[in-house]
Amino acid sequence: MKKAVLLKTEHMVQLNWLDNQIANIANDGAKSFLNVNVAERAYSKILSESLITSDSDIEHFVSTYLSELGLKKLVTTLRVYKKRNSSERLQVEISRSNKSRLDQLVKLSGKTKIEIINQLIENTDLEEFQKKESR
């Protein structure tokens, strides 16, 4: 998804990210803004004007006050959010030999482990896994 399109989505995620950057100005958050003092005042103003911050206010703030690094970090956050929001996290243990084979598949195919596992599951014949008594 292109950056411009991405910045017009997930406004609550953007607002949460901005909250965290403002809260972390003393640490690394200041790098996300062109001018920290002006950005802090503007952010306080848009939060205090109404109970719900409009999408257009968030888009305007992002386009006006974020530095190039801040925009890059926000876009990365939005991409990660979208990817994680459409998937389930699964932790599994596999044998060393299967881990080695999975690593080989990664090298041979150029795909990620996630892509390979998803492809294997998608292409599996479910009948092979049905219990014998239900066949």
Sign of torsion, CA 75 79 82 85? negative
Alpha carbons 129 and 8: distance in angstroms, whole number? 44
Q: Is the pLDDT of residue 89 over 90?
A: no
Alpha carbons 108 and 45: distance in angstroms, whole number? 54
For residue 135, the one-letter residue type is R
Give the pLDDT confidence score for residue 74 in this predicted structure: 97
Q: Are 80 and 13 in contact (CB under 8 A)?
A: no
Q: Is the pLDDT of residue 135 over 60?
A: no
Q: Is the pLDDT of residue 52 over 60?
A: yes
Alpha carbons 130 and 117: distance in angstroms, whole number? 20
For the segment 17-32, the average pLDDT, to the nearest whole number, is 92
Q: Is the pLDDT of residue 134 over 70?
A: no
Residues 9, 68 share a domain:
yes
Residues 30, 75 share a domain:
yes
Name the pTM for this structure: 0.68
Cα angle: 7, vertex 79, 39; to 5 degrees: 45
Q: What's the structural domain count of the chain?
A: 2
Residues 59, 33 share a domain:
yes
Question: Which structural domain, as residue segments, surrounds residue 17?
Answer: 3-85
Alpha carbons 119 and 96: distance in angstroms, whole number? 21
Residues 39, 93 share a domain:
no
Q: Is the pLDDT of residue 88 over 90?
A: no
